[in-house]
RNA sequence: GCCCUGGUGGUGGAAUUGGUAGACACGCAGGACUUAAAAUCCUGUUCGCCGCAAACGCGAGUGCGGGUUCAAGUCCCGCCCGGGGCACCA
């Protein structure tokens, strides 16, 4: 009887399906464990061997936890809305719903092939109305909430309104500093609030809502009648058609994620993410501590101040000029008559440049306004410049420039010949800025002699005393744009009437995405929904939600996927709680992870769930790179190819060749001729009768012909081999190249395992004999190793531990049920099909999926002697078997009597004798 | 430029707390079985030196240069190279 993996795998997959082996219940006496894979987008290209890596790892872990007695939730679903499907629809005339459905079918077939233990009854798709009903519902919660800065959490907007009616906005000032009420200013009393008309009231509330609508700058292309992404704009004109593109403020939905900046930062201390991941999120949030300082502008009325943000108030005596962003509102007020034309020209120039150009070119540009600010401490006049290196959206959109301490300021000063004041003495060399905080200040009036680090607080204190500055924390993170002018996404449950956004009643959800035939943009940068008369007649919002809407909360829906009364029953989310293990790539470091953390915090604040961090532990799987193969076409010929080893004798061109027609490095020349029509009459210059290909590691991609389809490998070696090989390749977190050839080693291992049970001629060879000490030792060593390795996600070493175990049992000629049965349970997470088959062959009737995990017993692995390495002066010279209970004195005697040791010691006195019990011996002479 | 990673045989990788570097595989070489091939199995395989050869032995060796230690792939200091992220954030 031989290892017929095809029929075995088919049989058990069918059996598990028939018996609902992977169904998970929401109530259990067992402890819970939640294993989640990052939501895949079902692309039309299908899976290559790089994709399932994380799924296999999570599957192994889920099965392991199940064997260890946990109730394990391990679901899968699809992030089905999104731009690619819509783009495909536009290009091919297939409705996104149709192509998405088709892609999901293929995706599912590929997944099933690998034998995952997903509970498919819990599958979710973000594009299903039953799902996005709740995405819309959560959006409404965001819309109807504000961030209460006094309680530091989201609360109902009703709380805010009640406060307004009682005390105006004195308790809850408007979060956006720039906002101006229709009559100017940004504070109001209770009486004023009550007197505002509805439009004004709603406009004010919009300034607080966690999901809000505002105006944002976008690239508007009149010629194409649409908004363009940054990468679709080149040199100020559209990539397609060359039409001019201008920055335009357009209505957009946003999430007020900035209010959660601190909590998102703090939360990182309570989750188990890699340092790199925490670092990326921390940088993205970009918290900085500094001060806002008001500078009087010369010749302007007392109220017209230039407010700057700086993290280095200690350098205030080194300020040689001010720089404001080109968008700064004060420019028109302060620009002098003589500079007016120059300023206008400069602003026009900046407007013509896209964000991308601005960043790519990094030219030093700028323009003097003709106005001067006054240094509040010494009355010095400071010229005010405009430059695009200062960003309107950060801080106050204006800075005080200190060229001796800031590289950008230094370069600007040099470029425009602005004299530089040195306030750090020898620490400034005149060649480049020095951003130190440890220098002693000079030329700094009352700060002279003080270390900069200490001066920061002193200056802020003084500014506050004078009433012209205050401590200020800033964040780099901006509010998240939450609308797309696209079709294939969740419609917003919002109606617009007279410029006021009204939420739909929850009973009206889901607001169904209407069917359309065309996906072209609507007028004035609106989405395709604006082209549907029935839609606009209902005054419905025409934008749709972005891709990350549905994926921000899907981990909650898996818990209770069919509930049509709530997004997830509170009792159910309390039972499952956080995702215990989340596996996925690093590409979602700041997008998806930050958004889903935000949504979780809001839902927690509003009392809908009981935890405020979605993921307890995050593991990032590495990428599997492609290993490309090349053939070398001789130059001057149309179809003559020279083998790798001989190519230096010719002038050649290197061409990618499909890795699937190469065995290791040897090209299948017949397959090559059949591969593409123009290679049909190819000729080869061989070495040793073979055509050897060149090899290079590159990204795995169709265009490089280095993709490998898991289906082909499963067909040839079986799912169990494939799963184990993906793990055997190396640590999950690490990127590594794919090498199909290596899979045979894992396949051989499974056949070796099989032969412990069955002989090709004799049939079953396993016995009920009592296991020997040596056999039990092999088994228990393996139990310990597999358990440890699996717990710490070291799946590659676990696979080799299985190999070692089977090799050793083979040497011992051990085919005893007592040993093999336990081994099968250990193997179940990794190779479930063959484990289940052999489990039944041993006479078990239940499924191995629910067997009791073997318990490691120390007594079987205790050693009495150890082969000690013996070094002389740190160099290994020999090894000696010594009783483990032996103490230093006895060992010393034994070792020094050893012939080889004596030879090396050569009668010299022993200076030191190092003995670490159970480890090693070192003789120092 | 800044931050985070990593660098070990021909290849993927192992060495969990400083204690026998190269586990386990791939590849390669040789052998067995076979008319032959495939499959399978066995042996060898870090490099160098000595040697007809094997055994044994010796020397070097974890990107480079220093250091700490009885002992360093592992710890410290200074470099070099690859991968990833951020990039006018004041």
Domain spans of chain A, in order of start: 31-135+548-620, 287-472, 635-699, 717-860, 865-924
Q: A284: Cβ under 7 Å from strand B?
A: yes
Where are the alpha helices (H) located in A846-898, listed in sequence order? 888-897
Distance CA(A172)–CA(A259), nearest Å, equals 13
Which of A168-177, A189-198, A228-237, A427-436 has the lowest average pLDDT? A228-237
Round and report the angstrom distance from CA (A522) to C1' (B1): 43
A326, A386 Cβ separation under 8 angstroms: yes
> What pLDDT score was predicted for residue A723?
96
| 0.80 surpassed by pTM | yes
**A188-214 pLDDT, tens per residue?**
999 999 999 999 999 999 999 999 998
A99, A52 Cβ separation under 8 angstroms: no
> What pLDDT score was predicted for residue A213?
93
Q: A406: Cβ under 7 Å from strand B?
A: yes
Q: Is A624 exposed, middle or buried (0-12, 13-18, 19+ CB in 10 A)?
A: buried
> What pLDDT score was predicted for residue A663?
82
Which positions on chain B have an atom < 7 Å from some protein CB?
A: 3-5, 11-16, 19-21, 23-28, 40-42, 58-60, 70-72, 83-90
Question: What's the pLDDT band for A394 if we cut at 50, 70, 90?
Answer: confident
Q: A162: Cβ under 7 Å from strand B?
A: no
Round and report the angstrom distance from CA (A696) to C1' (B63): 21
A 888-917, residues with C-beta < 7 Å of strand B? 912, 914, 916
For A315, the token pair is 């350098």
Name the nucleotide with the smallest C1'–CA separation from A402: B90
Where is pLDDT greater, at A762 or A67?
A: A67
Q: Which residue is nearest to nucleotide B40 (CA to C1')?
A: A748
Residue A341: CB atoms within 10 Å: 10
Round and report the angstrom distance from CA (A782) to C1' (B23): 14
Q: What value, to the nearest 5°, has the Cα angle with vertex A742 and ends A738 and A748?
A: 145
A 72-111, residues with C-beta < 7 Å of strand B? none
Distance CA(A829)–CA(A811), nearest Å, equals 25
Mean pLDDT, residues A787-801: 94
Residue A337: CB atoms within 10 Å: 7
Half-sphere exposure of A807 toward its Cβ, with a 13 Å CA cutoff? 10
Whether A231 shows a pLDDT value over 60: the answer reads no
For chain A, give the mean pLDDT. Answer: 89
Q: A884: Cβ under 7 Å from strand B?
A: no
Q: Which residues contact A818 (CB under 8 A, 6 or more apart)?
A: A768, A769, A770, A771
Domain A31-135+548-620: which CATH number of 3.40.50.620, 3.90.470.20, 3.40.50.510, 3.30.70.980 = 3.40.50.620
* Cis-peptide into A510, omega within 30 deg: yes
Q: A220: Cβ under 7 Å from strand B?
A: no
**Strand arrangement, sheet containing A581-584:** A71-73, A32-37, A581-584, A618-620
> What pLDDT score was predicted for residue A490?
96
For A734, the token pair is 């690490």
User: What topology does CATH give the domain A717-860?
Assistant: Isoleucyl-tRNA Synthetase; Domain 1 (1.10.730)
Whether A907 shows a pLDDT value over 80: the answer reads no
Distance CA(A140)–CA(A485), nearest Å, equals 20
Whether A720 shows a pLDDT value over 90: the answer reads yes
Whether A230 shows a pLDDT value over 60: the answer reads no
Q: Which residue is nearest to nucleotide B58 (CA to C1')?
A: A877
> What pLDDT score was predicted for residue A233?
61
Mean pLDDT, residues A598-626: 94
Round and report the angstrom distance from CA (A766) to C1' (B4): 52
Question: What's the pLDDT band for A744 if we cut at 50, 70, 90?
Answer: very high
Distance CA(A705)–CA(A691), nearest Å, equals 18
Round and report the angstrom distance from CA (A277) to C1' (B75): 26
Q: A286: Cβ under 7 Å from strand B?
A: yes
Question: What's the pLDDT band for A574 if we cut at 50, 70, 90?
Answer: very high
Round and report the angstrom distance from CA (A253) to C1' (B43): 71
Q: Which residue is nearest to nucleotide B4 (CA to C1')?
A: A276
Round and report the angstrom distance from CA (A692) to C1' (B49): 34
A 555-594, residues with C-beta < 7 Å of strand B? 586-587, 589-590
A39, A549 Cβ separation under 8 angstroms: no
In chain A, % helix, strand, coil (3-state, to 5) comes to 40, 20, 40
Sign of the four-CA dihedral A130, A553, A80, A116: negative
Round and report the angstrom distance from CA (A752) to C1' (B39): 14
Task: Write the class of the CATH domain A287-472.
Answer: alpha beta
A 354-373, residues with C-beta < 7 Å of strand B? 358-359, 361-363
Q: How far apart, in Å, are the Cα atoms of A383 and each of A15, A302, A320, A539?
A: 80, 18, 8, 51
Q: A273: Cβ under 7 Å from strand B?
A: no
> What pLDDT score was predicted for residue A888?
85
**A318-349 pLDDT, tens per residue?**
999 999 999 898 898 888 999 999 999 999 88
A600, A609 Cβ separation under 8 angstroms: yes
First CA to last CA distance, chain A: 62
**A659-672 pLDDT, tens per residue?**
888 887 888 888 89
| Per-residue 3-state assignment (H helix, E strand, C coil) for A288-299 | EEEEEEEEEECC
A291, A310 Cβ separation under 8 angstroms: yes
Round and report the angstrom distance from CA (A578) to C1' (B5): 28
Determine whether the annotation assigns residue A249 to a binding site: no
Q: Which residue is nearest to nucleotide B23 (CA to C1')?
A: A800
Q: A315: Cβ under 7 Å from strand B?
A: no
A865-924 carries CATH number 3.40.50.360: no
Round and report the angstrom distance from CA (A810) to C1' (B31): 21
**A9-65 pLDDT, tens per residue?**
999 999 999 999 999 999 899 999 999 999 998 888 888 898 999 999 999 999 999
Where are the alpha helices (H) located in A812-887, listed in sequence order? 817-827, 832-841
A364, A401 Cβ separation under 8 angstroms: no
Q: A881: Cβ under 7 Å from strand B?
A: no
Where is pLDDT greater, at A133 or A667?
A: A133
Whether A548 shows a pLDDT value over 70: the answer reads yes
Q: A399: Cβ under 7 Å from strand B?
A: yes
Name the nucleotide with the smallest C1'–CA separation from A874: B71
A 800-859, residues with C-beta < 7 Å of strand B? 800, 803-804, 807, 810
Would strands A920-924 and A912-916 be described as parallel, antiparallel, or unpaired? antiparallel
Round and report the angstrom distance from CA (A491) to C1' (B28): 61
């Amino acid at each position: 009887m031989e290892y017929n993996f095809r029929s075995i795998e088919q049989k058990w997959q069918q059996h598990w399906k028939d018996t609902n082996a992977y169904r998970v219940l929401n109530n259990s006496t067992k402890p819970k464990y939640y294993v989640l894979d990052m939501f895949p987008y079902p692309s039309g290209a299908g899976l290559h061997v790089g994709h399932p890596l994380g799924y296999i790892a999570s599957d192994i872990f889920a099965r392991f936890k199940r064997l260890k007695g946990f109730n394990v939730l391990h679901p899968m679903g699809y992030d089905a809305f999104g731009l690619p499907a819509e783009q495909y629809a536009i290009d091919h005339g297939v409705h996104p719903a149709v192509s998405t459905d088709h892609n999901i079918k293929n995706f599912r077939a590929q997944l099933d092939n690998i034998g995952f233990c997903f509970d498919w009854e819990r599958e979710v798709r973000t594009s299903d109305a039953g799902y996005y009903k709740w995405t819309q519902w959560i959006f409404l919660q965001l819309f109807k909430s504000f961030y209460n800065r006094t309680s530091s959490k989201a609360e109902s907007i009703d709380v805010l309104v009640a406060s307004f009616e009682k005390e105006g906005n004195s308790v809850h000032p408007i979060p956006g500093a720039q906002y101006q009420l229709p009559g100017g200013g940004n504070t109001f009393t209770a009486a004023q609030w009550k007197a505002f008309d509805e439009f004004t009231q709603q406009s004010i509330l919009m300034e607080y809502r966690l999901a809000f609508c505002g105006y944002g700058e976008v690239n508007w292309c009149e010629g194409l009648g649409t908004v363009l992404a940054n990468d679709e704009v080149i040199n100020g004109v559209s990539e397609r058609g060359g039409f001019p593109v201008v920055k335009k403020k357009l209505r957009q939905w946003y999430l007020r994620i900035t209010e959660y900046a601190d909590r998102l930062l703090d939360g990182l201390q309570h989750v188990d993410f890699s340092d790199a991941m925490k670092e990326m999120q921390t940088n993205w949030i970009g918290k900085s501590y500094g001060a806002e300082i008001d500078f009087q502008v010369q010749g302007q009325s007392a109220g017209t101040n230039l407010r700057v943000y700086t993290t280095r108030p200690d350098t205030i005596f080194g300020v040689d000029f001010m720089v404001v962003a080109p968008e700064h509102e004060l420019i028109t007020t302060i620009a002098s008559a003589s500079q007016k034309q120059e300023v206008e020209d400069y602003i026009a120039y900046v407007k013509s440049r896209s964000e991308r150009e601005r960043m790519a070119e990094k030219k030093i540009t700028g323009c003097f306004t003709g106005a001067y600010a006054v240094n509040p401490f010494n009355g010095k006049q400071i010229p005010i410049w405009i430059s695009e290196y200062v960003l309107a959206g950060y801080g106050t959109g204006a800075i005080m420039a200190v060229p001796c301490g800031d590289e950008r300021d230094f370069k600007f000063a040099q470029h425009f010949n602005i004299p530089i004041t040195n306030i750090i003495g020898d620490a400034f060399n005149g060649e480049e800025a020095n951003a130190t905080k440890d220098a002693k200040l000079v030329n700094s009036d009352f700060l002279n002699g003080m270390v900069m680090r200490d001066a920061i607080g002193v200056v802020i204190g003084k500014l506050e005393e004078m009433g012209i500055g205050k401590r200020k924390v800033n964040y780099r993170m901006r509010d998240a744009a939450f609308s797309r002018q696209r079709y294939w996404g969740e419609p917003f449950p919002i109606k617009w009437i007279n410029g006021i956004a009204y939420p739909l009643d929850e009973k009206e959800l889901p607001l169904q995405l209407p069917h359309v035939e065309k996906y072209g943009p609507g007028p004035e940068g609106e989405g395709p929904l604006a082209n549907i008369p029935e839609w606009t007649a209902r005054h419905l919002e025409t934008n749709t939600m972005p891709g990350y809407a549905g994926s921000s909360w899907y981990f909650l829906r898996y818990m209770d996927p069919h509930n049509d009364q709530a997004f997830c029953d509170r009792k159910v989310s309390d039972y499952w709680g956080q995702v215990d293990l989340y596996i996925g790539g690093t590409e979602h470091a700041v997008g998806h992870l930050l958004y889903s953390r935000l949504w979780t915090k809001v839902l927690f604040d509003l009392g809908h769930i009981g935890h405020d961090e979605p993921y307890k532990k995050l593991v990032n799987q590495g990428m599997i790179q492609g290993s490309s193969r090349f053939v070398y076409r001789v130059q001057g010929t149309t179809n003559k190819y020279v083998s790798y080893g001989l190519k230096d004798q010719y002038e050649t061109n290197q061409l990618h060749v499909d890795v699937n027609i190469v065995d290791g490095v040897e090209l299948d020349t017949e397959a090559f001729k059949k591969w593409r029509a123009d290679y049909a009459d190819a000729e080869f210059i061989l070495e040793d009768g073979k055509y050897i290909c060149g090899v290079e590691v590159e990204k795995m991609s169709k265009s490089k012909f280095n993709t490998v389809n898991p289906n082909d490998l499963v067909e040839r070696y079986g799912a169990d081999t494939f799963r184990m090989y993906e793990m055997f390749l190396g640590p999950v977190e690490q990127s590594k190249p794919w090498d199909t050839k290596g899979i045979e080693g894992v396949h051989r291992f499974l056949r070796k395992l099989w032969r412990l049970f069955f002989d090709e001629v004799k049939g079953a060879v396993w016995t009920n004999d009592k296991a020997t000490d040596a056999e039990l030792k092999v088994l228990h060593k393996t139990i310990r190793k597999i358990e440890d390795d699996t717990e710490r996600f070291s799946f590659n070493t676990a696979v080799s531990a299985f190999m070692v175990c089977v090799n050793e049992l083979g040497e011992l000629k051990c085919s005893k049920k007592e040993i093999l049965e336990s081994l099968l349970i250990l193997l179940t997470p990794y190779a479930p099909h063959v484990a289940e088959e052999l489990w039944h062959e041993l006479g078990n009737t239940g499924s191995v999926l629910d067997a009791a995990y073997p318990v490691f017993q120390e007594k079987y692995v205790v050693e009495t002697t150890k082969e000690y390495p013996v070094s002389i002066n740190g160099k290994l010279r020999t090894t000696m078997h010594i009783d483990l209970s032996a103490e230093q004195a006895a060992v010393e005697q034994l070792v020094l009597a050893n012939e080889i040791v004596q030879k090396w010691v050569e009668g010299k006195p022993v200076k030191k004798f190092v003995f670490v019990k159970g480890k090693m011996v070192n003789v120092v002479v």
